[in-house]
Structure 1
């Protein structure tokens, strides 16, 4: 296990730059001492000039020496350096600001797809003199996640960036700490546990009547907002045994629509405000983390005087910690039980009940709960948002899927695990949505020791990855490669997961589709997520006969820019603005109108 103290943002920020700064200053001093010996009595002004010249020269020499060292190390093992982007400014700062602006306002993957066509499917951005490799090669991602798993970790940079939110939980840890969290949590995600749909049913029973009320009043509904509430309530009930009940709060109204005034009981108002405050704080902390990723290694400079997650996490912790403490107190009051008794009580446990039987350390529990909630809420809501987006824009898919729902489940019956397992078209619809819009479009690993990755061209030497180097991989860009998925790779077609294209492309090369990662760190909640997504989609299609986008519901500035129409690929036909922080989302929401089925309950 690692120490938090060794991985604080300040220490991490200083570690590598301090090394360069120290070597630069030492180089400058040695240069000055050499000159002073052959030319004594130099005036102060000249010393300052010499210092001003020697510092950048020494730094440039240090950078050049490192590049030469990398080339020699690569050559010594029969490898070659990864192609590096060449910007027009020192340290590729022009490229850094270009990508930051694209990340903030552009379409996911903008800029990088151009680099791929010019440079290839793996390249080194080397921004601010830091190696940062980007790849969309399935064999490389396979090495990062599986075949060379022990040599790649989340790493200090990722951990320091997310520490104030995720602590040392399962998604933010490596080595023994990661093994501890995984072994503690994984047994809970069993077939028997994930097949219990009571939680999903209760949340759906709150979500759907709210939708119907809005539609009957003639208003559009933001399904992205609704799915975020749905996944927050279901994940909190799954974790704690009682939901946050954000679905009971007032749904947002469409752009330029005057809210209807209605009286709400004081108790409901207090509960709604608590839920809204928690949801807003939780989202705010995640947004602050995403901003750090955008700024790269320079982000601590922008938080010298203030941790941008602190205020948000105070609200989150104020809600969570009393729940944790109550569970700990109950566990300490219970008589000791053996392993057999623990197993017997598993079916009635919440995840928190299960966890406190294994540890009463409130920090470990807090980190684990926040990690699970982050994954359960954001990634599932993202997948639901884009699945519903495609259903709204592809009426033939909606009709075919609804026919499967009515045939396999009926118009009013509650979906079961066996129903969902038997619905092959539903699984194809979800998979195709995750292919084009994977919830986590970019991910990263850090190399521990120097290693190599296979060249995309087998005739060329392997590619050298130095030790302690970040390697970013993009499922989004890989999922859209026409050489991996066929000429229609950017089209939405669920049948590709059912027809001969499945056997042609995916079956022989499973690492081209990674919505849940792979290898030892594959998502432990994968089946839980499939069940939750499937359940609410089924319930929606039981209750509504059709769905269409209502773009007038969102603010004009959040709609796709007119310039997108002349772009290539999906960008030209997109009806919403996909954006990303850690996960993908629809900028401005997903506003729809739906036609109610009079026979559905």
Structure 2
């Protein structure tokens, strides 16, 4: 029987420290800092910062209840955006007595992900995500484990089932996986004390159980299939193991290289999150833009007509030649990045560069969050038209003015040693899908009459944000999506005309 999360926290963390004077003093200071009055008391961090020739990051006064309210009811990253206007692009705030740093500075994100990579790690995130994702590539700090993601050239099998979407067994799986991610997102907000909010029951573990219920039969069949093949190879005298290729799925490859069922399950779920959800996000917002910009639809169809035509299937070489399509995907990823907010933890006390003077001091074991969503929308980094959807910025003089001199202003796939291993696969998959879609359909209309969730009517356009302009509600747990899905109507003009002439 598993120990309830709250009990585990009390006996492993709280009780061993509860009667230590430094712990009590620390707790009182944190509570005062967290108060609505925003008490900012002197801390030992000043001395450590001075010893490193650094200064403290600007502190948000109060803020926890304001932030939680914005996360629940506001526009995407609205709380972080408003704080950036008050305190600058890098600041520190406290949630439940635990300090966190947030930054939208390219130089800081570059340091965290690349130039100071060894100073940061996933930290408590591994523990927070473990009950749903286990120790797979997405949730692991082990780069040797992360390399397993390079074999993600899996293929999707089509189903001939006539069951409806609502009654299909996969629906329970999809729902559980999404709700499990939501539980993990709340853990990220609550930090190291998330167990207090799931005192008697690990919420994510229940969703993992539903997920395994769907995946286990598929996994068992893959193992049986491998055993049958191995037996056949032995009988025929062929004992060679082929390398992963197009004829071998990711699942087949995993069961071939490890017999540990949990490892296989963890890797499957991690790749599902890292590959499926992110690409689905890119495609969702790409199609959303098509419903809003018929001029872009026309340019994309023109390029398809020139490079591929409207009859044959596109090849990898075709997509490489389609510059406007790639620019369109990049612009979608700029304004609607699949992972809007991410972060790492400092392994030890360190500093981050400060272009205006002394470096910023970063205490040990501090979460350093960064918002790609907000950085991608900064006018000082992208120009005065940063909030406008314009793929040409990746093709014209703006590319050389803004992005080429400072490539870390555009990070839809992260950077450094843990850069997304599947970024080229994502570009190829999204390109193929959009080409096939645009070969078939001419008009894309946002079905507002059936869209379940729409932005609140009181949201008005504001400087520095697209709040009040977007026609969908942006939603995020770990990856960004359209709340309640994107509902559209598509039309093939040529087929419509032919039917009218009959």
Q: Would you say same fold, with TM above 0.5?
A: yes
1:388 aligns with: 287
| Structure 2: stretches of 5+ with no match in the other structure | 497-502
Out of 584, 587, 593, the position equivalent to 2:483 is: 587
SS in 2 for 1:514: coil
Classify 1:179/1:403 alpha carbon distance in 2 versus 1 (closer, same or farther; 3 Å).
same
Out of 183, 187, 193, the position equivalent to 1:292 is: 187
Q: In the alignment, is the contact (CA less than 8 A) between 1:27 and 1:58 conserved in 2?
A: no
Q: Please, what TM-score do these two structures have when normalized by structure 2? A: 0.88
Output the CA distance in 2 between the equivalents of 1:273 and 1:58. 49
RMSD, aligned α-carbons: 3.2
- The more displaced of 277-286 and 520-529 is 277-286
Output the CA distance in 2 between the equivalents of 1:347 and 1:570. 42
1:378 aligns with: 277
Write out per-residue CA displacement over residues 502-531 of structure 1, whole angstroms, 9 at most, x where no aligned residue.
Answer: 111111111100101111111111111111
Q: Please, what TM-score do these two structures have when normalized by structure 1? A: 0.74
Q: In the alignment, is the contact (CA less than 8 A) between 2:91 and 2:103 conserved in 1?
A: yes
1:312 aligns with: 207
- The more displaced of 401-410 and 568-577 is 568-577
The equivalences for 1:138-537 within 5 A come to 138-156=106-124, 158-174=125-141, 178-186=142-150, 188-189=151-152, 238=154, 242=157, 245=159, 268=163, 273-332=168-227, 334=230, 341-343=240-242, 346-457=245-356, 460-537=357-434
Write out per-residue CA displacement over residues 367-422 of structure 1, whole angstroms, 9 at most, x where no aligned residue.
Answer: 00110011222111111111111111111111111111122111121111111111
2:99 aligns with: 131
Classify 1:9/1:390 alpha carbon distance in 2 versus 1 (closer, same or farther; 3 Å).
farther
2:446 aligns with: 549
Q: Does 1:21 align with 2:18?
A: yes
Q: In the alignment, is the contact (CA less than 8 A) between 1:103 and 1:294 conserved in 2?
A: no
Q: In the alignment, is the contact (CA less than 8 A) between 1:415 and 1:535 conserved in 2?
A: yes
SS in 1 for 2:413: coil
2:460 aligns with: 565
Q: In the alignment, is the contact (CA less than 8 A) between 1:106 and 1:579 conserved in 2?
A: no
Shift of 1:291: 2.7
Q: Does 1:73 align with 2:40?
A: no
Classify 1:449/1:58 alpha carbon distance in 2 versus 1 (closer, same or farther; 3 Å).
closer
Q: In the alignment, is the contact (CA less than 8 A) between 2:17 and 2:23 conserved in 1?
A: no
Classify 1:589/1:341 alpha carbon distance in 2 versus 1 (closer, same or farther; 3 Å).
same
| Structure 1: stretches of 5+ with no match in the other structure | 29-54, 88-94, 194-237, 250-264
Classify 1:27/1:279 alpha carbon distance in 2 versus 1 (closer, same or farther; 3 Å).
closer
Larger helix share, 1 or 2:
1
Larger Rg: 1
Out of 118, 121, 125, the position equivalent to 2:86 is: 118
Output the CA distance in 2 between the equivalents of 1:271 and 1:398. 32
Q: In the alignment, is the contact (CA less than 8 A) between 1:24 and 1:59 conserved in 2?
A: no
Out of 82, 93, 98, the position equivalent to 2:57 is: 82
Shift of 1:96: 1.4
Classify 1:140/1:17 alpha carbon distance in 2 versus 1 (closer, same or farther; 3 Å).
farther
Corresponding pairs, count = 485
Write out per-residue CA displacement over residues 296-322 of structure 1, whole angstroms, 9 at most, x where no aligned residue.
Answer: 444322212222223322221022123
Classify 1:364/1:596 alpha carbon distance in 2 versus 1 (closer, same or farther; 3 Å).
same
